[in-house]
Structure 1
């Protein structure tokens, strides 16, 4: 059994690796868009804070005889305009950056898939599942930047509003901040559960798709009708569908309970703060402007905390998905390859020397000690029952797999010393199995 601390550290390292990979990819794809989006994030975080302080100053000036408010009113209007316009510009930049990053990520993903010379990984159900999640992760690269910038917005807004609250009441500031701790923990736990559920559902959906393809495809239509197994396959398919729905419902209920509890806590804290502000104003310790600023600051702190928590949870969930992308693009080829050694035109023939092969250690031997010579310029037919190894032999000749034992020689050169893709595409003569 693995040590929990080690597993946790490995998970943290994996998320850190995914974060660095995502940021690096996005920066290479759209450096200008990332820079502009960061500057807009800073401005977007400053606008609400400026609005709160300007509102307080305007109210205090209005309660003072001959208080000039024209300049403050103009500043308040400018802050409001910025707060209204900046999100739209940010969405535009995020969309443009996301498209460029997504195109780059998808191109790199399929290039990595092409590096898998053989078929072993693709015939392992885990790898196609991971590849599908990697495609989803590649499509959300821009969303990771958005989540990071959202977290930055939350932090900056939080600092500004907390500074405003500290001037009025350090105790109420501490209460508002403490109320955010369970929200952060709960959201991070939910994001991890969502990622786990997504991985489990990927396997369930794969089996469901397999049954649905059998029931609706033409390849199996004859056998299904001859043997009358359509109802059996439909029951299997619907069982997978119910398993997926059960997992979704369980997650929805968990989120409903968690979000309901967090909303109740937030409302209770805001109500306690409002009661304190009204009481303090009646006692004369706070001005009307202070009360207005306090109410706005409490709302601002809670909004900033919600933005921060939501962004962090979103980034955490997207990094968990993006880690599948990182695993695929960094996966080593399943067969050893060489950079040189393109197969020349065949002159003498192909020779199999004591070739043994099985698809895994858990499978039986498909080929046992095969010795075979295929002369150049001759046609060879492979005849045998299903499962005798005909297709396997062709796969070995095309180097979709390497023999478990023995050698396959192309004019005396081991296929392992020839570039597999060049060999498979340019040099292999047509073969036929019967």
Structure 2
């Protein structure tokens, strides 16, 4: 027999893309702008990452915001002063005559002031860029940590659902993909202050210019908002295809898959599959880019027309004597700067609204809440266990499926007993283990620990007292000692405990052959890694279970890659070391499960037989039938 992983949930039935509801922020303009509600949450994350750098960036931005209007005004004063001195006539033919007259003193001060503003502007820009780059990195790190911590709180069901996998993938991309949004937001705030100061100057001269300015910007703004939303919609619905693309890329270029890819000649197949996915995504992106470029050019032309009408008004007023040359320079410069700033501000706003749609992917993931939680007044774990665990008429269905993985299950796991679970694929063995570790809660019935419902206990404490090693255990690409220490991370630095766990699982023999012993990095993902065979990895994983030193110890077919002798040795050691503690083992070899105190045969999610090996063989029931089928293969 092999593992009972057939009891894991079937792939979700996903509605066709045409039938799925449109993603957040793409249905209406109001909904698109509603995505901006996530901006305060982003600022909170940024502030949490570094209050000092956030405050420093705000001060630097505010200082930079006031410099443009100051520079333009000093420029106006310089031109007016030049015109004034020109009209007054020269005090003499030589420069010394000008200097002696003192008429250049004010002009010199104004030029020096403009030079000083330029130096200050450059220094502030460099300091601001430095602070923003450091802040963006700290934010990315902080957001990644929060993402990892939040993901750890979610239920297993929320990871096994394909829609939730898409959601997690989008959130993972936004942790690093939205760092440029920080700089853009701070830049927008800076430009707002600059716009306010320049607009005040324009209003003092000619309020009509402000209306002309807004007319010049409206077309491009509308186009940007529309196409940003379309781009997000395309990326949203392409998330499943992008995950497939990344998966095929991984298959075609990974050390974990290279052997079978070469032996089975899969490279051309994988390349063709990748090309098919990539080409489909490229066609969609090209279609959107062409439409955006075509419409963008027309809308920009409309905006330019409105700008030059306003420029003509300023020139006419100057010719009519209503404005001085300095005023003309100030107004033309302010209008041009305002147009550029407002265009950047409004288009930047549309881009921020577009990026906020992506930001919603991150914060909507943070909004997900687990269903499996500790109760308000949780009980501490009863260590040591004296009575055991009882399944009372337990039924369970995986999410999004009508098939019962277990139904009407009644099972008693006595304290201090080594219990073996056997049965064919899909019988429900692994599901029982997941329910016992409270990775899922029963759909019906209840599980009792020491006579109290499992849901009454503190969840973190419960899991800390249950040690499980599944067949599909994780191969951590850390050192051998760290791989074992993962079983109880708080004690990972306790070398005596790590070595004891390795000795119990026979992993010490594996470590003894490693060049750097317990300090040897494992796996081929990094340059200094040392790869192990499947059986060696399994012994390392089993050591992890012993490292946990749990009250309930479970081995769920983790020895599939071991030969019969090695598996017998591991389970013999398991049986010896599990005496006095509650233990469950699942194995596809009957020669090893016979050492258990009691064997339970599971079929169709129910217990159909239980007893010792000899009793079950004499009963000539389901166990005996399966035992004979396996024994016949060795004759």
Q: Give the structure-1-normalised TM-score.
A: 0.86
Hey, what does 1:382 align to over in structure 2? Answer: 421
Shift in CA distance, 158/225, structure 1 to aligned 2, threshold 3 Å: same
Shift in CA distance, 417/10, structure 1 to aligned 2, threshold 3 Å: farther
Shift in CA distance, 275/90, structure 1 to aligned 2, threshold 3 Å: same
Shift in CA distance, 356/32, structure 1 to aligned 2, threshold 3 Å: same
Q: Distance in 1 between matches of 2:239 and 2:463?
A: 32
Hey, what does 2:324 align to over in structure 1? Answer: 287
Hey, what does 2:213 align to over in structure 1? Answer: 176
How far 1:109 sits from its partner (Å)? 2.0
Equivalent pair of 1:215/1:234 in contact (CA under 8 Å): yes
> How many equivalent residue pairs?
430
Pairing 1:192–2:229 present? yes
Q: How does 1:331-350 map to 2 (within 5 A)?
A: 331-338=368-375, 339-350=378-389
Pairing 1:240–2:277 present? yes
Pairing 1:15–2:36 present? yes
Pairing 1:42–2:62 present? yes
Instruction: Identify which range, 4-13 or 178-187, moves more after superposition.
Output: 4-13
Shift in CA distance, 140/241, structure 1 to aligned 2, threshold 3 Å: closer
How far 1:305 sits from its partner (Å)? 0.6
1:93-115 deviation digits (Å, cap 9, x = unpaired): 21222233333322222221111
Aligned counterpart in structure 2 of residue 425 of structure 1, from 464, 484, 493: 464
Q: Distance in 2 between matches of 1:133 and 1:286?
A: 55
Shift in CA distance, 269/290, structure 1 to aligned 2, threshold 3 Å: same
Shift in CA distance, 120/33, structure 1 to aligned 2, threshold 3 Å: same
Equivalent pair of 2:392/2:445 in contact (CA under 8 Å): yes
Q: Distance in 2 between matches of 1:15 and 1:166?
A: 30
- Any gaps of 5 or more consecutive residues in structure 2? 1-20, 89-102, 467-551, 557-585, 589-635
Pairing 1:166–2:203 present? yes
Q: How does 1:11-410 map to 2 (within 5 A)?
A: 15-16=36-37, 18-65=38-85, 68-116=106-154, 118-139=155-176, 143-214=180-251, 235-338=272-375, 339-410=378-449
Shift in CA distance, 333/220, structure 1 to aligned 2, threshold 3 Å: farther
How far 1:429 sits from its partner (Å)? 1.0
How far 1:206 sits from its partner (Å)? 0.9
How far 1:37 sits from its partner (Å)? 1.7
Q: Distance in 2 between matches of 1:364 and 1:165?
A: 72
Query: Which structure is richer in relative contact order (CA contacts within 8 A, separation 6 or more)?
Result: 1
Instruction: Identify which range, 235-244 or 57-66, moves more after superposition.
Output: 235-244
How far 1:158 sits from its partner (Å)? 1.9
Tell me the C-alpha RMSD between the 2 structures: 3.2
Equivalent pair of 2:219/2:302 in contact (CA under 8 Å): no
Equivalent pair of 1:214/1:221 in contact (CA under 8 Å): no
- Any gaps of 5 or more consecutive residues in structure 1? none
